[in-house]
Amino acid sequence: MFLDPLLGPLLDLVIDPVVLRTCQASAAIVFGAAAVSKLMDVRRFAGALGGYGLLPLGLVRPAAWALALAELAVAVMLPLDATRTVAAFGALLLLALFAGAIGINLWRGNRDIDCGCHAFGRAGPARRGSLSGWHLGRVALFAALVVPVLLDAGTREVLWFDYFTVLGGLACASGLFFVIDALLANRAVAQALES
């Protein structure tokens, strides 16, 4: 193919195994937290999904189940080497769907809806707030965490202290998504108090 000279080096990229494991575990935790949150209150998630106005009413509840179960499948498959590539593509597909739904509603001006992406945030009616470009930024950041999972691991030997590096990276990445979720939730609460 005529693009092989250009794409060949990109397709041969490898990533440090510590970075790969950190990205795998972090993405699995965030997807798992999101899935569990949605599965614990499918009715609420279906309400949030319906607020986007992109599906016929009869498909909202089945789609809510399907999305939550897809997130759970991604969370379970990401840490496993045999399924990580399929899981990463699935994760990126879900993130593209989420970004598309958010983008369409921002374009429509439909901002006063629950985003439905409450993995770490506060539950309940106080969580409802306005959709913003920050939600798209969070999706993009999450996609950047998932993309390295598509690369092959380098061949360097993993040493005992590398596990501490993975744990530290895992704590930082999970903490970052917790903070982003909390900031988005508090932004909604602050806006509600102002009005």
SS3 182: helix
Q: What is the pLDDT of residue 131?
A: 83
For 92-108, what is the mean pLDDT? 96
Q: What is the pLDDT of residue 3?
A: 46
User: What is the pTM (predicted TM-score) of this model?
Assistant: 0.81
Q: What is the pLDDT of residue 192?
A: 65
Backbone angles phi, psi at 2, to 5 degrees: -70, -15
pLDDT at 8 over 60: no
What share of the chain has pLDDT > 90, as a percent? 47
Return mean pLDDT, the chain. 83
pLDDT at 107 over 90: yes
More confident residue, 107 or 171: 107
Residue type (1 letter), 125: P
Task: Outline where the chain has alpha helix (H).
Answer: 4-11, 17-40, 42-51, 57-77, 84-108, 133-146, 160-194
pLDDT at 4 over 80: no
pLDDT at 123 over 70: no
Backbone angles phi, psi at 9, to 5 degrees: -60, -35
CA dihedral 170, 145, 25, 122 (to 10 degrees): 70
Contact (CB, 8 A) for 111 and 160: no
